[in-house]
């Protein structure tokens, strides 16, 4: 998993800096959703077996995984809880969220039009929930403690695959407006304003997740099989993923300038 390899670098940076990480805060899609979709009106849920069969207690929490998702392992590696609870899960409250919280929603993306496809939580709304979380945290712990958590927490983001696979290549609207290169640039502008918003709200350690080799997802390989091409990966999609990741790396470089005290990297 690319997440782990690139994450190891961030971990090393933080470790060398002697930084204490009080919380892990997650934004993104199904790659990191811890169960928020269970609490909204969407068909995109995973609260049934075989999902969750290797999770604690074999519980299908709403993670799109047989067990934990990468951000759960990352939380554990910081000596925090071995999983990051979903913000909308009523089994948890602000005392729990003080050491980690997940705002991710399966099916979402950078583009508002992507989250509309299956009525999931758009990125701007994940950020609204994060603002609400900050307020609850300040009410619960007082400004000083809450601000320390907000600035020392590690922020992990993981999304973008759905913008291409569920939206651009599946529906005609964005395809009629943008070439694939223009669409990538459009998504990068949204990523940029998202990161700047997080920075403005006090986040200082941000790991911006890139795209996985999305042409090798099971669905894409099955599609190849159906059209008589064996089960090979879709290399066009993989090339788009690599091009988009290069653009995200450029964004990371640009955004670092003039933002001292910001630890910022890109994963995958």
Q: Note the Cα 202 to chain centre separation in Å.
A: 18
- Helix (H) / strand (E) containing 154: strand 154-158
- Pairing of β 263-267 and β 205-209: parallel
Selected binder of ligand NAG within 6, 171, 180, 190 (CB under 6 A)? 190
Q: How far is the CB of 92 from ligand NAG (least distance, A)?
A: 8
Q: How far is the CB of 94 from ligand NAG (least distance, A)?
A: 5
Residues 35-94 that bind ligand NAG (CB under 6 A): 93-94
Q: What is residue 209's three-state secondary structure?
A: strand
Q: How far is the CB of 183 from ligand NAG (least distance, A)?
A: 12
* Cβ density class 55-75: b for 16+ within 10 Å, e for less: beeeebbbbbbebbbbbbbbb
Nearer to ligand NAG, 112 or 177 (CB): 112
Selected binder of ligand NAG within 16, 90, 95, 260 (CB under 6 A)? 95
Residues 125-164 that bind ligand NAG (CB under 6 A): 140
Selected binder of ligand NAG within 15, 56, 124, 225 (CB under 6 A)? 124
Nearest CA to 146 out of 23, 18, 7 is that of 23
Active-site residue, 30 included? yes
* Six token digits for residue 101: 């919280």
Positions touching ligand NAG (CB under 6 A) are 93-95, 112, 124, 140, 190
Residues involved in catalysis: 30
């Amino acid at each position: 998993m690319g997440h782990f390899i690139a994450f190891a670098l961030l971990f090393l940076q933080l470790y060398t800096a002697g930084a204490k990480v009080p919380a892990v805060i997650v934004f993104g899609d199904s790659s990191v959703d811890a169960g928020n979709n269970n609490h909204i009106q969407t068909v995109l849920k995973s609260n049934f077996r075989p999902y969750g069969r290797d999770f604690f207690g074999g519980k299908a929490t709403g993670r799109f995984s047989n067990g934990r998702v990468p951000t759960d392992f990352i939380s554990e590696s910081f000596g925090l809880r071995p999983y990051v609870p979903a913000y909308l899960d009523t089994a948890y409250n602000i005392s729990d969220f003080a050491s980690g919280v997940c705002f991710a929603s399966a099916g979402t993306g950078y583009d508002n039009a992507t989250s509309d496809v299956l009525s999931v939580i758009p990125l701007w709304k994940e950020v609204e929930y994060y603002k609400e979380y900050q307020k609850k945290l300040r009410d619960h712990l007082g400004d000083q403690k809450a601000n320390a958590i907000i600035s020392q927490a590690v922020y992990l983001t993981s999304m973008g695959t759905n913008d291409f696979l569920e939206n651009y290549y599946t529906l005609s609207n964005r395809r009629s407006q943008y070439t694939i290169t223009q669409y990538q640039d459009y998504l990068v502008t949204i990523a940029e304003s998202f990161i700047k918003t997080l920075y403005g709200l006090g986040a200082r350690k941000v790991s911006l997740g890139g795209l996985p080799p999305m042409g090798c997802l099971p669905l894409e390989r099955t599609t190849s099989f159906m059209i008589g091409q064996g089960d090979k990966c879709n290399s066009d999609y993989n090339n788009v993923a690599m091009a988009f990741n290069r653009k995200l790396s450029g964004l990371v470089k640009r955004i670092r300038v003039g933002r001292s005290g910001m630890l910022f990297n890109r994963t995958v």
